[in-house]
Structure 1
Amino acid sequence: MSSISKKKEINHVKKHQLIVFKLEGQEYALFIDQIKEVVITPALTPVPLTPPYIKGVANIRGEILAMIDLVERFELKKQGQESTPKKLNFTLVIADEEKKMGLLVEELPQTLNVLETDMIQPSLIYQTEEEKNYIQFIVRLQSKENTQRLIIVIDLNKIILKEEVNSTLTNF
């Protein structure tokens, strides 16, 4: 196959733009259209009687948002690992018709363009059917150094239920 026909073939492959962030050293991503903005994390007000992964609420541009810690939601802390509080410096603001919330992340997220051909459906073993829905895709990228980079694209709608976020805001 000539290089010209390879370029034409690549031009027909759909591209997606992701927002990539790290949780406990692993890269995760959301589709860019799911994120309204990225802001420096404001002061949080704890809300009693909420799940432990809901760290409280915050006022971002006049909106009161439930603030979600995905490390706790995904149970990424290893058993026996000391709970040293990490500085969650940035917030991914999610705002659509169904949900308004902030996702706490440690580092400034980056944008990444990926080809649809680099997105694969995971074939993993799940304990429950509910867990199966958490991961939409795994992006597999090959670097120039011939190392592989894996990024987990999460399904936000399956991880954080609208009812959980809404109950937090009504408790406040």
Structure 2
Amino acid sequence: MVENEVTAVREEETQKDKYLCFQLDDAEYALAIRHVVEIIGIQRITTIPDVPPYIRGVINLRGKIIPVIDVRMRFQLDERDYDDRTCIIVVSINDKSVGLIVDTVNEVLNIPPAQIQDPPKIKKGSQNRFIAGLARVGDSVKIIINMEKFLFEEEMEGINKKEAVLS
């Protein structure tokens, strides 16, 4: 193995079973840390026309235009004013950077697969596709987000087209 491959394997091993936990209302969510690029405070968001309402717009992060999604709105929760605890989690999904607006970021946890179970099959629908599993952590349950399915493909294509226009 070349040095870059060894470094990538070591990095993947250190991120294995690690999740960034965040909160929306009283529910606790988690996403695989391997997707997280950085966490930033809420900042000025430039709205763009003709996108779904949960796509709040774009931000300029050190010269890079990044679309921003309000996770509350994506999950069809009530809107809430942003405050000093509101964060943008910048993630990379399929080599595409996206900002996720959440109420607050809590912690990074190690959640082994033995603590994760499949989500209940309550109904068929778009919301269930976002859930990769439910993790038992102490007395609480963390809802693990499936980042690969977080956006519909056509929405990512729409974001790409809007970014191309703005570039």
Give the TM-score, by structure 2 length. 0.78
| 1:89 corresponds to 2:102 | no
Q: Percent identity?
A: 29
Q: How does 1:1-172 map to 2 (within 5 A)?
A: 16-77=17-78, 83-87=79-83, 89-128=86-125, 130-142=126-138, 148-161=139-152, 162-172=156-166
Would you say the 8 A contact 1:17–1:113 is kept in 2? yes
SS at match of 2:43: coil
Q: Residue 123 of structure 1 aligns to a residue in which SS?
A: coil
Question: Any stretches of 5+ residues in structure 1 without a counterpart?
Answer: 1-14, 78-82, 143-147
Correspondence for 1:4:
none
| C-alpha spacing 1:32/1:49, structure 2 compared with 1 (3 Å) | same
- 1:11-53: per-residue Cα shift (whole Å, max 9, x none)? xxxx610000001221011000011111122211111111100
Normalised by the length of structure 1, the TM-score is 0.76
Cα RMSD of the aligned pairs, angstroms, is 2.0
Question: 1:118 is matched by which residue type in structure 2?
Answer: Q
Unaligned runs of 5+ in 2: 1-15
After superposition, the Cα gap between the structure-2 partners of 1:107 and 1:98, relative to the gap in structure 1 and judged at 3 Å, is same
1:89-115: CA deviations, max 9, x gaps?
311111354421100122234111112
> Contact 2:25/2:103 (CA < 8 Å) preserved in 1?
no
Structure 1 residue runs of 4 or more that deviate by more than 6 Å after TM superposition:
none
Equivalent-residue separation in structure 2 for 1:158 and 1:72 (angstroms): 16
